[in-house]
Amino acid sequence: MFFAYIKDNRSFVSVKKNKLEHINSPADLKKLKISELPDLAKEIRRFIIDIVSEKKGHLGSSLGVVELTIALHYVFDTPNDILVWDVGHQAYPHKILTGRRDVFHTNRQYGGISGFPKRDESIYDAFGVGHASTSISAALGMAIASRLKGDLIKHHIAIIGDASIAGGMAFEALNHAGVSNSNILIILNDNEMGIDPNVGALKNYLTSVKNRKGVHKTSLCDEQDNIFEALNFSYSGPIDGHDIGVLIAELDRLKTIKGPKFLHVITKKGKGLHQAEQDQITYHAPGKFDKITGDIYLNKHRNSTPKFQDVFGLTLVELAKQNKRIIGITPAMPTGTSLKYMIEEFPERAFDVGIAEQHAVTLAAGMATQGMIPFCAIYSTFLQRAYDQVIHDVALQNLPVIFCLDRAGLVGEDGATHHGVFDLAYLRTIPNMVIFAPMNELELRNIMFTAQLGLDGPIAIRYPRGRGFIKNWEQPFKKLEIGKGEVVTEGDEIAILSIGTIGERIKGVVKKFPEGTIAHYNMRFVKPMDISLFNKLFKKFEKIITIEEGALTGGFGSAILEFANQNNYKNIIKNIGIPDQFIEQGTIEELLQLVGLNEASLYETIKSFLKD
């Protein structure tokens, strides 16, 4: 193959120096000369930096694909030709070029545009994303559908990172796509990073590909030495993902090739902002920063209460020093879960397995069969991806795997794809599973301590994103009794049963009522339930309220209703939690108010229930 610049024969109109303000669609983009596109790329980077520095968001990924995004919309006939972005962290340039520039300042805000591609937001967002490794399957499905409808002209492009392509689902789709004879192009955005640095043998393979000579050849080696050619893809690359001319030339060439194609593109995460290039982990989503210097603003919480993820991570190290059988496992989230502390302290006993939730769960199961004590740290929303492994490989065999579910409940600006609101419901149906939700940092520490002492089966511990409530949290461990709740506040008129950290918010609400009115119980365990305590309070109170930061359908409140029905109790029960709908993005406080779980709403609901 060749990589000469193509002749610039598109039609043009003259534009002002500020090119971005005149682009409201890819049609406007195509009016520019290729020679003008590098300046446009600079404008887009500055625009992203200006907005994200104030509004926060995913910075590094989007800065790294500006030229690639421009080239894709310049060459292909979007939205007729279809782009599917894997995960979507890198989709900001795509949104800016497809009619959302003037509303980009609302990105990830309540009532604003989503931080991820979303089908009902734009016709240019062909497939909704948020979780990894889905793009190839989705694009292939679209390509096969086009072929079946007789459309052999439409192009279907999946843009996937070198972290996501290591996910099992991506490999399943590659296996199918290679023999599909469909018009699909897979673009590997290779920047050696996910949120954290990539790991594993595929990462090492891609590094070796980039280090070989003859970079600008279609095939770097014999087919048997190139994994993608061996899977029947027409492979090209690696090419410079920041050279717009080269990108356009190669994309134009690939448009003429039939069947499955694979383009390997090299980019730099954080491109254009020095700090983001140098510290790619921090600047993946840096929060607010100085748009001129790039420096992150000092954290006002520096001397505040700890993050729950840090309580988990530091407590795990503390326990691992005492118990050599403890193992730490996470699928590509060592920083997000704070398993990084154990990786630093005990690298031989802590494993980042990449974007591989299914593997992480069954890996933990295998270790448990050999007497190890695996702590499997996964975001609540990502454990959904390993549901079968939780059932088949762990619970069915009653193996003592300790699941630590970070980001449980509402997570804020990441929105519907990332809220961890389904875990109580989807785990509660599984036999042998213990489910615990700590009300504060001390309970998280104590249940971790209790679990590593030895359980008969698996346990899921779910805790939220963000900070806790107790500065002096590193207190001596206490063993907790499995399946036992506690009384927080005594009362005589209404009983409130809470699960998890929302119990701390309820403490403040209870204080607004006359003393002795509201009894508050911190149930701790969704499974097994504290049957003895339930029988006592069902006999004492006519009215009972359950409160959870989780899905009402099938959740903690449902368990209480089932108990009442099974025991023929006729109490008046009100369930408060997340309604049966997907909750969009916003600050956590905005979303709590939306679903009626903020203090003011809880107060009004309880007051009304008292009067009824």
Task: Render 506-554 in DSSP notation, one character per residue.
Answer: HHHHHTTSPTTSEEEEE--EEES--HHHHHHHHHH-SEEEEEEEEESTT
Task: Calculate the CA dihedral of residues 37, 43, 47, 50 and round it to 10 degrees.
Answer: 150
Show Cβ contacts of residue 71 under 8 Å, excluding neighbours closer than 6 positions.
37, 244, 247, 248, 251
Determine the pLDDT at residue 202: 82
Q: In what order do the strands lie in the sheet with 494-499?
A: 486-489, 518-522, 494-499, 543-551, 572-578
The secondary structure of residue 367, as a DSSP letter, is H
Q: Do the Cβ atoms of 100 and 122 come closer than 8 Å?
A: yes
Q: What is the mean pLDDT of residues 518-528?
A: 98
Residues 499 and 440: their CA atoms lie apart, in Å, by 11
The residues annotated as belonging to the active site are 269, 357, 385
Q: What proportion of the chain, given as a percentage, has pLDDT over 90?
A: 83
Q: What is the mean pLDDT of residues 498-511?
A: 96
Return the ∠ at Cα 117 (arms to 88 and 580), rounded to 5°: 110
pLDDT tens digits, 171-203:
999 999 999 989 999 999 998 866 667 677 787
Residue 221 is inside which H or E element, if any? none
Position 17 scores a pLDDT of: 62
Tell me, what's the pLDDT at 172?
Answer: 95
Question: In the prediction, which pLDDT does 300 show?
Answer: 67
Sign of CA dihedral 290, 294, 298, 299: positive
- Compute the chain's Rg from CA coordinates: 26
Residue 35's CB: how many other CB atoms inside 10 A?
Answer: 11
Band (pLDDT 50/70/90 cuts) for residue 207 is: confident
**Residue 569 CB burial class (10 angstroms; 0-12, 13-18, ≥19):** middle
> Which pLDDT does position 224 carry in this prediction?
52
CB atoms within 10 A of CB 570: 8
Q: Is 80 exceeded by the pLDDT of residue 131?
A: yes
Q: What is the pTM of this model?
A: 0.91
| Torsion angle defined by CA atoms of residues 24, 28, 30 and 32, in that order, rounded to the nearest 10 degrees | -110
Structural domains of the chain in order of their starting residue, each with its CATH number: 20-284 (3.40.50.970), 308-462 (3.40.50.970), 487-611 (3.40.50.920)
**Confidence at residue 2, expressed as pLDDT on a 0 to 100 scale:** 28
Q: Mean pLDDT throughout 532-560?
A: 97
**Confidence tier at 8 by pLDDT (50, 70, 90):** very low
pLDDT at 575 over 70: yes
Interval 310-347: pLDDT, tens = 999 999 999 999 999 999 999 999 999 999 999 999 99
> What are the C-alpha distances in Å from 596 to residues 89, 405, 602, 609?
30, 24, 6, 14
In three-state form (DSSP H/G/I as H, E/B as E, the rest C), the secondary structure along 554-567 is: CCHHHHHHHHHHHC
Mean per-residue pLDDT over the chain, rounded: 92
Alpha-helical (H) ranges within 327-386 are 334-337, 340-345, 357-369, 380-383
Q: What token pair was written down for 51? A: 């907005």
What tokens does 333 get? 């989230």
Give the Cα separation of 216 and 206 in Å (integer): 15
